[in-house]
Amino acid sequence: MEKKYHSIKEVSEMLNLPQSTLRFWEKEIDILEPNKSKGGTRRYIQKDIDLLQQIKFLIEEQHLTLAGVNERLSNHREVDEKRIKVIETLESVRKELMAIRLELNGHEALASETIVD
């Protein structure tokens, strides 16, 4: 069963971002509003994590400023979500192909060791 809520620490580790960056983005990005407990603890749901992945992509890969991210999210969010999903899928396929290549190289090495002249 998948967790419904994630702590800022968990999200920070998932996205490989400092917690301070997540807090800063929360102040600067208009639509980023994770739920908070009565004690003020941030509780991120999957939708928040997906949005954070999108923000990270826009900043790191598209080199947008926070103002640019706000504009993009308000105007082009669906297109960017699809683009991020495609990139994630391609990265996953690449990892799988690399693993297959390593396995094949291992089999080639094993086969060449067993050949006797």
Look at the block and give the residue holding tokens 């997540």. 22
Q: In angstroms, rounded to a whole number, what is the distance separating the alpha carbons of residues 11 and 30?
A: 19
pLDDT per position in the chain (117 positions), as tens? 667 889 999 999 999 999 999 999 999 998 899 988 888 889 999 999 999 998 999 999 999 999 999 988 887 666 666 777 788 888 889 999 999 888 888 777 666 666 655
SS (H, E, C) 45-107: CHHHHHHHHHHHHHHHCCCCCHHHHHHHHHHHHHHHHHHHHHHHHHHHHHHHHHHHHHHHHHH
For the chain, give every domain's residue range: 8-114
pLDDT given for residue 4 in this prediction? 86
Question: What is the value of pTM for the model shown?
Answer: 0.64
Q: Are 42 and 9 in contact (CB under 8 A)?
A: no
CATH of the domain spanning 8-114:
1.10.1660.10
User: In whole angstroms, how far apart are CA 29 and each of 12, 34, 71, 89, 107?
Assistant: 17, 11, 10, 26, 50
The Cβ-side half-sphere exposure at 70, using a 13 Å CA radius, reads: 9
Q: In angstroms, rounded to a whole number, what is the distance separating the alpha carbons of residues 21 and 11?
A: 11
pLDDT given for residue 80 in this prediction? 64
Strands 35-36 and 42-43: antiparallel
